[in-house]
Structure 1
Amino acid sequence: MSVPKLIIDITREYIDNNAFLFQELPINLDKLIQKEGISVINYPFEDDISGVLVIENDNATIGINKKSSNVRKRFTLAHELGHFKLHTQKSKMFMDNVFFRKKSEGYTSKEEKIEKEANYFAANILMPEHLVRGEIAELKCDLHDDVTIASLANKFEVSSSAMTFRLINLGLI
């Protein structure tokens, strides 16, 4: 499924408007979320829930599964921020199931589309294209090597699988 041009444009505009926060690694999600006025709470969700976004009376709160790894929390925060910037006209609550990443069973095609859009937003803000390309330009090793991917993932504070997907989507591997 391709990402609609509108989502690409909104994501690009968000990065451009906050360019001062997209200059060094890892991206400071706390500042981005604070800038939007969103509260974050760590919550002991069941293992199958990675996070939620709830908007109530113009107040937004992201709940993060406190049992998740740091890289999972970062992706979830960025994903929920994506819902906040892309989808609040569609709903005031988003609950993200860990199993969506493995299979989209149980999701309607509309829900699947919204989740993929939020994932697109998250990947772009955690691994901005200009920073990914800059890091790769400095490499003197094979991008197909697991150690290289893990090293890049570590710099961006994302999982190796997220970095691999980002490199594929940018046409770099």
Structure 2
Amino acid sequence: MVNEWDATVRKRFTIAHELGHYVLHLHQDPNGFPDDRVDYKRTLFDGRTHKPEEEANRYAAALLMPAPILGKILLRGDNNVHDLLGMFGVSEEALSIRLNKLRRRPELLYEIQ
């Protein structure tokens, strides 16, 4: 699960991803997590998608980079990538993917509470 040699941002995402499996998928298989049987890194590169992995990734991204908070920051004009990386404690890849996905659903960015 969490590799001690990974960067802190990678560890945070991995933990959030695994929490996503627990919250979203435990009811499907109470004997274990779905990714116990899936090599998620290989599925990223072989072009196949695995729905529980995608869902856990979305959960992790939403947990670590909540759309309303990200939207509020972007509305203020704070869009320096390095500042955002520090604020959210995520990798550049994770931030880039999150922003790209939210651009397809911009209403999520501006549901500011």
TM-score greater than 0.5 by the shorter chain:
yes
Are residues 1:132 and 2:70 paired? Answer: yes
**Number of aligned residues:** 100
- 1:67 is paired with a residue of what secondary structure? coil
Identity of aligned residues (%): 33
**Aligned pair 1:115/2:47, yes or no?**
no
Name which one, 1 or 2, has greater alpha-carbon Rg: 1
Aligned equivalent of 1:82: 20
Q: What's the offset of the Cα at 1:98?
A: 6.2
Using the TM superposition, give the Cα deviation of residue 104 of structure 1 relative to its aligned residue in structure 2, in angstroms: 4.2
Give me the whole-angstrom Cα distance separating, in 2, the residues matched to 1:97 and 1:115: 10
Indicate conservation of the 8 Å contact 1:83/1:118, yes or no: yes
User: What CA RMSD, in Å, does the superposition of the two structures yield over aligned residues?
Assistant: 2.3
Q: Do the aligned partners of 1:149 and 1:164 also contact (CA within 8 Å) in 2?
A: no
Q: Which amino acid aligns with 2:53?
A: E
Cα distance between partner residues in 2 of 1:100 and 1:131: 32
Per-residue CA deviations over 1:76-122 (Å, capped at 9, x if unaligned) read 010000000000123313347562474146x6x5xx11100000110
CA drift at 1:151: 2.1
Secondary structure at 1:118's aligned position in 2? Answer: helix
Within the alignment, does 1:158 sit opposite 2:84 as a pair?
no
Q: How does 1:15-164 map to 2 (within 5 A)?
A: 51=1, 64-91=2-29, 92-93=32-33, 94-95=35-36, 97=39, 99-100=41-42, 102-104=44-46, 112-139=50-77, 148-164=80-96
Instruction: With the length of structure 1 as denominator, give the TM-score of the two structures.
Output: 0.51
Gaps of 5+ in 2: 107-113
Q: Distance in 2 between matches of 1:72 and 1:152?
A: 16
TM-score normalised per structure 2: 0.75
Larger RCO, structures 1/2 (Cα 8 Å, 6+ apart): 2
Report the AA paired with residue 87 of structure 1: H
Structure having the larger proportion of residues in helix: 2
* CA contact 2:85–2:92 (8 Å) conserved in 1: yes
Any gaps of 5 or more consecutive residues in structure 1? 1-50, 52-63
The one-letter code matched in structure 1 to 2:71 is R
